Each structure stands twice: as C-alpha cells, then as structure tokens.
C-alpha cells in the first residue's frame, strides 16, 4: 500500500500553498471581521484551475482526481476556511450532481462555466423543518405543461445570493415521501426566485450563507436534473462527496491550529524557558499531531476510494466525523496553549476554533455520520 503523494500532487500543494500565502492570507482577518465574501479571490482560484480539478477537460476541468481536490481544499483551509467552504460547496455539492445526472446540454450550459470558475454554484436542500429529515421538505414543484412551478424556501445555503447556479430539491409527489423528491437546476435571476436573510454566523464568516425563496418560479422541464423522483438519491450521493470536502477542510483547520500552537509554544517563555519544554505542553502537541495524521489518512482514503469507483459512503462518513472532531479538539487545545492570547482576536487560533465547529455540523451532524457508518456495517 502506497501512502506517498505523487510529484504532481506535491507540486499542486505547493502551488496552492503559495497562492494562499500571497493572495488569500492578506485580509483574511478583515474578511472574517466584516463577514465579506471576496468573489475576486474565488475567481482567481478558478483561473488556477481549482474549481475544475476533478472534472474532465471537455467540461472545463483539468482531468484530475477527487484526491487532488481534497488536497486543494486542505491547502486553502489552512489559510481561509471560509473560502474553502465556498469552493467545496460549489465543486462537490453543485457541480458533481450535474456531472453525474445531467444531460449533455445541462453539462455544457451549467457545469462547464462552473468548472472553469466563471460561475459559482450552490446546493439547496435544507429547510426550516427539513434538515436531516429530508422527507419532511415543504418546497413543491408542480408540473404544468412544459414547466414546473416551484414554491417554498431553503435555509442555510452556502453561496446563496452569490452563486449563479443552484441545484434545488423539491417535492414533485408528496405522497411518496423521499421517493417523491426531484432535483432541478435553477439559474440566478429567474422571476420569483429571491433571496432572504443573510445568516450572521459564529464562524466561516467570509462565506455567504443565505435563505432562498421560491414564489411561483417557472422552471422549464428541461432543467429537471435526472429523473422525476430521483432527487433523494441525487442529494444523498452528493452529500457523500461533500463529506470528503468537509473532512479536507477540517484537516486544513487542524493543521493550521497545530502549526500556530507549535510556533507559539517555542516562542512563549515562562519561568525562564519556552513553554514547549514543559512536558504537559509537549504531550498536548504530540497528541494533536497524531490525531491530525489519522484524520488526514481517513480523508485521503475516502477520496481515493471515490477515485477508484469503489463504494465510499462509509469511508466519507468516517473521515468527516473523525476529522471534524479532531479539528475542534486541536483548535481548542491551541487556544489553551495560547492562554489568554488564544481567546483574543489578536491571534488566529480564536478564528480557527470558531471555524472548526461548523465542520461538525454541516453535511449532516456527526450523529448522522454514525448512522451512515452503522448502516454500512450492519447491512
């Protein structure tokens, strides 16, 4: 079994790391403070090819792998997890369903500009009374001739209002429960498709999270994604891939927190010597590093399984669950090592701790991941 990254993957990491240092790092604290999504930075990531890493060249991608993309998300997350969240939501949750279930016309019209980085994507599933209970969604799509009429709303939508393309889920046959859900591709600007409040969040403040509102939105029937009633399957398989993205984000956050903690522990002098020389601090750092490496291996394993065309739902759920818990634990320990300074916005570990928390929540809480894992084990 080979664990080493290829030379091309190492070069990819270096290239993205350089971009993150030179372009993303300046202003990251200001973007967090002002809750500002910098579309210019996202467009630059598109120019670098990050938005199409795992898609074929004829669809605007670079023909890479999902592991390549996980590496990219990890590198961006080390500097700005908000930007990584917007990237992952577009690539894994919006673009992937179109690539797998879309018609050739849909792929050329919607996927290609997304993969090329000219458009931003969003995935609209969650509602006020339908979070993990997807079958409880109230948004409806009623067929009338050659179009569907959408009514309802979605909440907590990453890239909401900023994205040009939305994969939206709605009930086409409420009597069938989850089997009555269908997926649609909605471009921004359709009459009746509006945006509600923008969420004010604890973390990932530089990524827009917004409410979507549908009021008699007329959607041409050729914008149905997949077959009618296939929406639940599309959503669940998209979330499997999305969990790899979340795990990669968590690994990036954990690595950044560990790096800051090591640097501070070597510089901070107490009782005449660096606190890193205190065994309790050194052991904390050792434990943080060990957990992080385990999380990284789980994440890479899940991405590799997806690239190989093998079942990966269990692996993705394990990676997401363990990596997000690890990111939260490492960021918390980093704040502890910084002491009072860690609680201050003067140092980045405070932001990393806030951002780590969301990785335990989105793409399904870690309790949901346990259901996925247990189901696979007991099937």
CB atoms within 10 A of CB 211: 20
Q: How many angstroms separate the CA atoms of 159 and 199, rounded?
A: 11
Q: How many angstroms separate the CA atoms of 353 and 33, rounded?
A: 15
Q: Is 244 exposed, middle or buried (0-12, 13-18, 19+ CB in 10 A)?
A: buried
Q: Is 363 a catalytic residue?
A: yes
Query: Do 366 and 360 meet the contact criterion of CB atoms below 8 Å apart?
Result: yes
Token pair of 260, please? 């800051």
Q: How many angstroms separate the CA atoms of 12 and 72, rounded?
A: 8
Annotated active-site residue in 74, 162, 350, 363: 363
Residue with tokens 């065994």: 279
CB atoms within 10 A of CB 151: 16
**Residue 92 DSSP one-character state:** I
Residue with tokens 């950044």: 256
- Active site residue ranges: 363
């Amino acid at each position: 079994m080979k664990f080493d990254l290829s030379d091309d993957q190492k070069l990819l990491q270096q290239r993205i790391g350089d971009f993150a240092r030179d372009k993303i790092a300046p202003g990251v604290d200001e973007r967090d403070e002002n809750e500002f999504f910098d579309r210019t930075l996202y467009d630059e990531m598109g120019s670098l090819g990050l938005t199409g890493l795992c898609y074929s060249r004829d669809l605007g991608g670079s023909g890479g792998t999902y592991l390549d993309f996980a590496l990219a998300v990890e590198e961006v997350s080390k500097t700005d997890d908000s930007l990584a969240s917007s990237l992952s939501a577009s690539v894994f949750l919006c673009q992937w369903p179109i690539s797998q279930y879309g018609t050739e016309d849909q792929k050329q019209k919607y996927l290609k500009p997304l993969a090329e980085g000219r458009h931003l994507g969003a995935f609209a599933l969650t509602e006020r009374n339908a979070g993990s209970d997807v079958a409880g969604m109230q948004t409806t799509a009623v067929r009338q001739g050659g179009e569907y009429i959408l009514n309802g709303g979605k909440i907590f939508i990453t890239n909401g209002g900023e994205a040009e393309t939305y994969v939206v889920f709605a009930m086409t046959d409420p009597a069938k429960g989850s089997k009555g859900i269908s997926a649609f591709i909605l471009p921004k600007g359709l009459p009746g498709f509006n945006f509600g409040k923008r969420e004010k969040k604890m973390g990932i403040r530089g990524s827009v999270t917004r409410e979507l509102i549908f009021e008699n939105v007329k959607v041409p029937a050729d914008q149905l994604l997949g077959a009618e009633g296939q929406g639940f399957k599309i959503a669940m398989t998209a979330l499997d891939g999305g969990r790899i993205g979340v795990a990669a984000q968590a690994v990036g956050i954990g690595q950044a927190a560990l790096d800051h903690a090591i640097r501070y522990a070597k510089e901070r002098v107490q009782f005449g010597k660096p606190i890193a020389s205190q065994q309790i601090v050194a052991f904390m750092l050792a434990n943080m590093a060990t957990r992080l490496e385990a999380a990284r291996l789980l994440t890479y394993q899940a991405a590799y399984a997806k690239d190989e065309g093998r079942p990966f739902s269990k692996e993705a759920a394990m990676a997401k669950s363990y990596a997000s818990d690890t990111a939260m634990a490492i960021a918390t320990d980093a704040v502890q090592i910084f002491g009072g300074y860690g609680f201050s916005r003067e140092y980045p570990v405070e932001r990393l701790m806030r951002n780590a928390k969301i990785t335990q929540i989105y793409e399904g809480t870690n309790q949901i991941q346990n259901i996925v894992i247990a189901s696979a084990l007991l099937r």
